Amino acid sequence: MVEVIKQEVHKACWSQCVQDCLVMVTHLYLGVLVLAVFATTVANADINVVCAKNSVRVTWRVNAELVPYAARLFLGNCMASQWKVLPSGEGEAQFNYTFSECKFTKMIKGKRLYYQNEMSYRPQAKPNPPDFVHPIECVYRRPKDWVPRFVNPGYGVSEGHSRLVFHMALLNEELSSIAKTNVIPLGSPMPIWAAVEQKSHQPLLLLIEECVAAPTAELQPGSQVYPIIGNKGCLLESKKGNSMFLPRYHSSSIILYLQSFNFGFGEVYIHCKLTVWDPQDLAESKKACHYIKGTNRWELLDDPSRSSLCNCCDLSCKSRSRRGVEWASDGPSHNSVLGPLIIVAQSDFRDGNTMMESATTADPQLK
């Protein structure tokens, strides 16, 4: 009799457990279903972008389920400029802002000017991530007279030929200003900008004749070096790695776009020999060449149709005498040093307050 009672109790408990589990599973399923439908509602949002001269207008139409959450719709860090509920029950958010607002990022790539941001739906405040993100981009033709705000080429008229002033610096990844740190994650872009102030000179073409990485700010005989540019302007690293010269915005400046890697030493100093030349008188010894892996050939930065001048990059490029320009008293070349740069693993990277120290000091080893 006792055994029969135990069996009945066991059956009753098991039956109740199954019912409880079914209820819990049903609730969980319905919860997931609701979340899935809600996520689909956001993902299917209708977003229209109109790019004006210095501003953007974004119209975001959302389904009725999102109408109560209008305050959680953002363009960058900006809330909607206008909000209305449509007769259909849907909602429409309008964002009218200039590119100086809402944390738009500005980027120059070749002959294009990009303003970028993102639309987001944040049901919870930061630091919680958004549930939905949609990229916003306006693309314009780069102004012909555009130069980065960190450089003033220094045009002017003066008596005679003044001394040439050279610059070299590390840029941020957006190429919009000087980098705020000298700590660079392994594998990330390492854009190096060089320029010469023309002042009263005729138009000048800035070239990087030679460039090496070294563990010290001064080169000595026997110093450990890693070649980056050699053979009279050939970007050797473009053939071994993912580096290139970017299209120029002016003949008096050049951007060497390197991908950081382990140079084999801690602190890295970039030693470059900068040279100026007549833009109309390119030659094997006065050129800027990089290797295009897609075509398996060297290409001349300033005139791809004359890329035959780069054929010597795998051999030995001949020197030639200067002509056509009355050079300043300090000559047409300058040896610059940039550093120290610190390459760290991605996992160790911290955007701290370590600031880049750069110098443009003479280096007798690069002549």
pLDDT tens string 275-307: 998 888 899 999 999 999 999 999 999 999 999
Q: Which residues contact 4 (CB under 8 A, 6 or more apart)?
A: none
**Is residue 11 over pLDDT 60?**
no
Tokens 């949609």 sit on residue = 134
* Strand intervals (E) in 205-332: 205-214, 226-230, 234-235, 244-245, 253-259, 267-277, 289-292, 297-300
**Is residue 16 over pLDDT 60?**
no
pLDDT value, residue 147: 59
pLDDT value, residue 348: 65
pLDDT value, residue 3: 52
Closest to 202 in 3D by CA, of 144, 249, 250, 155: 155
pLDDT value, residue 360: 38
Residue 17 identity (one-letter amino acid): C
Tokens 């020197």 sit on residue = 319
Tell me what the pLDDT averaged over the chain comes to. Answer: 77
Cβ(93)–Cβ(70) below 8 Å:
yes
Question: What does the CA dihedral 298, 301, 307, 310 come to, rounded to 10 degrees?
Answer: -50
Cβ(136)–Cβ(104) below 8 Å:
no
Closest to 93 in 3D by CA, of 132, 38, 47, 136: 47
At 248, is the secondary structure helix, strand, or coil? coil
pLDDT in tens, 205-256: 999 999 999 999 898 888 899 999 999 999 999 998 889 999 987 888 999 9
Radius of gyration of the chain from Cα atoms?
Answer: 30
pLDDT value, residue 361: 38
pLDDT in tens, 77-93: 898 898 999 999 999 99
pLDDT value, residue 140: 92
* Pairwise CA distance, residues 99 & 56, whole Å: 7
Cβ(187)–Cβ(259) below 8 Å:
yes
pLDDT in tens, 123-178: 887 788 888 899 999 999 877 666 565 554 333 222 223 467 888 999 988 888 88
% of the chain surpassing 70 pLDDT: 71
